Chains A and B, each alone.
Chain A
Amino acid sequence: MALTRINIGPVHPSTHGVARLVVDLDGDTIVKIEPHIGYLHRGVEKLVETRMYMQSPPYMEKIDYVAPMAMDELYVATVEKALGIDVSEKAGYARMILLELQRIASHLFWIGSVTNDLGQSFTGFMWGFRDRDIILRLLEDATGQRMFYVNMRLGGITREFPKDFEENTIKTLAYLEKRMKEYENFIEKNPIFIQRMKGVGVLSIDDAINLGVTGHVLRACGVKYDVRKNNPYYNYETLNFHPKILSDGDNLSRYRVRIMEIEESIRIIRDSFYKLQSAHGNMVGMPVKLVSPKPVNKIAMVSREAPRGEAMMYLVCDDQKPYRLSIRSPTFINLAALNHIAKGHRLADLFSIFATLDMVMADVDR
């Protein structure tokens, strides 16, 4: 039978931006998917080369616009490593709190988009967005901006946390824990949802490693790799933190891994606040100056567990500018695995797989 070739995107309700998938179908079964990316390619890596070190963080935030702080922090941490600047214990905890809040916000956004892609006429979507907005409000309290914070400074963050920030955050976390139960009742106890997710888009552990997928996709396959545990940064070592893994590698495991990660993040934030009280050092970093200290290391490589997986930056230093900045974005490599995962599934499953891989096209294209 002749194959049908359909073109999905770049403008399509569930490609999360401007992904274009050229899908070959045999009836309703997918034979081959070829993702076309680059519609959002801005050449960030090249742009950075023309700017001073601390002129770039606003650009970095736009790489992953769902979790801007993660990329911001990653870039600043890379520059810190190159310039040989230490982050104090207190600033480390502050950054951890902000990063984990950002992770929760990003995951809630994702829960919404998954249910929407499965065809739930926006109910889960709105719920996810509502709770995400509460977190964004907290981040706004702490940083002064709702989405694009540019909050990281060399050696710390922009400013001290406001007085009632801790109290508000703890209150919000309690509320979130209650809401997570509600999500479970609403989404996970729905038999049709389970039907659509369980056993769909299975990725075996060997394939996952060979394809190099990261983040929740990798952990859902049973690989115990979380940068926060395996290569700890800031004060993650001091917390009793366990990466969440499941072994089925299907859509449902990816979903559950993320739900568990939210719960884990809630715990991390609580612990961090507790430890923050007795932490030493200064929370506020150096003010932004165009001219920064001379780099100590010629090459700096830093990796972080961003909400979407392991993000990494490889920085080669010039005197005052980056000579070359190479960004490993987690979604780029996860999208490369899409053809492998979705082959042989039905067209309807393509979108649930695409959704659970959690694409942010800006992050893919850089």
Chain B
Amino acid sequence: MLIDNLTGYFYSGLNSPNILVSILFVIIYAIIISILMSVFAYVFGWVERKMIAKTQYRHGPTYVGKYGIFQNLADFIKLLSKEKMVPGNADRFLLNVAPVLLVSITVFIIFLIPFSPYLQASNLGLGLLVIFVFLGFTPLLLFVAGYSSGGKFAELGAQRSVLMLISYEIPMIIVVATVGFAAGSYNLNSIIRMQSTLPYAILMPIGLIIFFIAMLAELERPPFDLREADSELIAGWLTDISAPYYALALMLDYTRMFMGSLIIAILFFAGWSGPILPGIFWLIIKAFIISVFIIIVRVTVVRMRIDKILKLGWMYLLPLSLINLLLTLIIVIL
């Protein structure tokens, strides 16, 4: 109840008629969300390391803190204390701007996500579309980041990620459109309310699978991590990035995973709605479980090849997403 009261108070603050109060609350909200995001990314970084270690009969981090919980922090500090090196033929401006922009876009998307009925920066009528418009920028920025560092490995990685973009983006948008049709709205809160009786994971399982695969590709997680394929391209666009930006890039990986899991949780698993616990907990629990699935995929599969990804996208995902659209329309109309 306390949390509900607090969020209610917050909601009235955010939508206050006084513009100054509203701006103040937006800033406070931004800080809270950034902290939440960092904490999730941090904890998840640890969970991922531990989980992968367990699959591989290792212990994972153990020394820094209890169960090695502070290992990532130690790594982070170490990276911050390193010298920042920029290759001679790199485009310094773009190389510096791209990672920062990437982080800001991710943070911005998380702003738009409702953590509970009232805990949201702005309840946009077309929230879903706005999210995907901004999500569409990220591959471009990654391309810029790869291209500007001047290395050939980074360039190859960037080319691959653009090639990959055309294979998964369209099925993903079609699935998003299907969700919009089913809910009758692109407002995130109404999409969630529509799911309170029947989550869309049950209504359109095909859509969920397509969206999950497309999201893996969007997040560049294995098996679609072609851009930073560590055994081929060394680290792709990260090859020539050092010190603080590398730390930022690592952080980015987890924040983007958090973002992706949140989007999946909202579109298919009814977001914040759930019994007893307040909405924010429900959403984070769901996002956590989805992230765990992403990790399980990571430890078990080998990397796909670019032409096979294109084939997967155009030959399977696109027709399936259209079928999904048709089926959903039939069910919804009936």
Contact = CB atoms under 8 A, between A and B. Distances in A.
Q: Chain A's interface: helix, strand, loop or mixed, by majority? A: helix
Interface string A189-221: 010110110000000000000000000000000
B152 A6 contact: yes
Contact of A13 (B55, B58, B231): B231
A262 interface: no
A347 interface: yes
Interface of B: 52, 55-58, 152-153, 156, 159-160, 222-223, 225-226, 229-232, 234, 298-308
A348 interface: yes
B300 A117 contact: no
A296 interface: no
A341 to B, nearest CB: 17
Contacts of A349: 305
A126 B57 contact: yes
Nearest to B226: A348
B56 A122 contact: yes
Nearest to A118: B302
Contacts of A196: 302-305
Contacts of B156: 6, 28, 347
Contacts of A350: 232
Nearest to B53: A126
A351 B156 CA distance: 15
16 contacts: A6-B153, A7-B152, A28-B156, A28-B160, A117-B231, A119-B225, A119-B230, A120-B222, A120-B301, A121-B299, A122-B56, A123-B300, A126-B56, A190-B301, A195-B305, A348-B229
A127 B56 contact: yes
A119 B300 contact: no
Contacts, number: 88
B230 A13 contact: yes
Contacts of B225: 119
A202 B232 CA distance: 20
Given A123-B299, A127-B56, A190-B301, 18 more contacts: A6-B152, A12-B234, A13-B230, A14-B231, A28-B156, A118-B303, A119-B223, A119-B231, A119-B302, A120-B299, A122-B56, A125-B56, A192-B302, A346-B305, A346-B307, A348-B229, A348-B306, A351-B231
A55 interface: no
A118 B226 CA distance: 11
A158 interface: no
B57 A127 contact: yes
Contacts of A118: 231, 302-303
Specify which of A6, A12, A119, A196 lies most central, judged by the most chain B CB atoms within 10 Å of its CB: A119
Nearest to A187: B302
Contacts of B231: 13-14, 116-119, 351
A121 B222 contact: yes
Contacts of A334: none
A117 B308 CA distance: 17
Contacts of B299: 120-121, 123
Contacts of B223: 119, 192
